[in-house]
Structures are given as structure tokens and as C-alpha cells.
């Protein structure tokens, strides 16, 4: 079974629109960590954020914000006022303490921001 599900395969938005990327995870651990990574067209994987399972406080970093809800096992990522440079594939990932902290990645959401 998929531990991390990113149901949106591709999203296109017009520049300056807000966009939310969904991530749903599955775990039985009480201690786990959630991550978002960005993969721009150049191919490298860039770390964006890490949250632990005990901290449900939402986080904002510039135009980026993350909504962590344990009740729905979701860790959604919102980009406000999108820009062309935000065009990339975004991956959500889960790390569980009991599996030796192996990282599980979702299949990614390809975001295209149209100028």
C-alpha cells in the first residue's frame, strides 16, 4: 500500500494564482516526520520543509505555507501568488521511526505556472 499519496499528478495555474498541493500519508507510528521536496526542471531535489508528528502547527515561509492535519493524515502545501519559477515537480515524503527511518516518497505533483 502507498504510504504517501499525491493524488494530483499535474496541475496548471496562471501566474499569481494560489495553488494547493495535496499529500495524504499512512502510518501506524506515533513518531514520524513529513517532508516536502521540490524538483525543478534542472533535476535536483531541493528540501523545502520537515515537520514532526507532534507539531501540528501550520507553517508559513514567504509565499509557501503548509497545513498539517493529523485527523485527516494530510500535509498539504500551498503556494500563494504563484510565479513561473515555482514550476517544478513537488514530492511529499514520510519517514517513520519504526522502519529505521526509511523515507517514503509520493509520486509527485507536476506544477506548471503559466505566465
Partner 1 sequence: DAGVIQSPRHEVTEMGQEVTLRCKPISGHNSLFWYRQTMMRGLELLIYFNNNVPIDDSGMPEDRFSAKMPNASFSTLKIQPSEPRDSAVYFCASPRGGNTGELFFGEGSRLTVL
Q: How far is the CB of 72 from partner 1 (least distance, A)?
A: 23
Q: Which of 41, 54, 35 is nearest to 94 (CA)?
A: 35
Q: Judged by CB under 8 A, does residue 112 bind partner 1?
A: no
Q: Judged by CB under 8 A, does residue 69 bind partner 1?
A: no
Q: Judged by CB under 8 A, does residue 41 bind partner 1?
A: no
Identify the residue among 16, 50, 70, 98 touching partner 1 (CB under 8 A): 50
Q: Judged by CB under 8 A, does residue 44 bind partner 1?
A: yes
Amino acid at each position: 500500500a502507498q504510504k504517501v499519496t499525491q493524488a494530483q499528478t499535474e496541475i496548471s495555474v496562471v501566474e499569481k494564482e494560489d495553488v494547493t498541493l495535496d499529500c495524504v500519508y499512512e502510518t501506524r507510528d506515533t513518531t514520524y516526520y513529513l517532508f516536502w521536496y521540490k524538483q525543478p526542471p534542472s533535476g535536483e531535489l531541493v528540501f523545502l520543509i520537515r515537520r514532526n508528528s507532534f507539531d501540528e502547527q501550520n507553517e508559513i515561509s514567504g509565499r509557501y505555507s503548509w497545513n498539517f492535519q493529523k485527523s485527516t493524515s494530510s500535509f498539504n502545501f500551498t503556494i500563494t501568488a504563484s510565479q513561473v519559477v515555482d514550476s517544478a515537480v513537488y514530492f511529499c515524503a514520510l519517514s517513520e521511526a519504526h522502519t529505521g527511518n526509511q523515507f517514503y516518497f509520493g509520486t509527485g505533483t507536476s506544477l506548471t505556472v503559466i505566465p
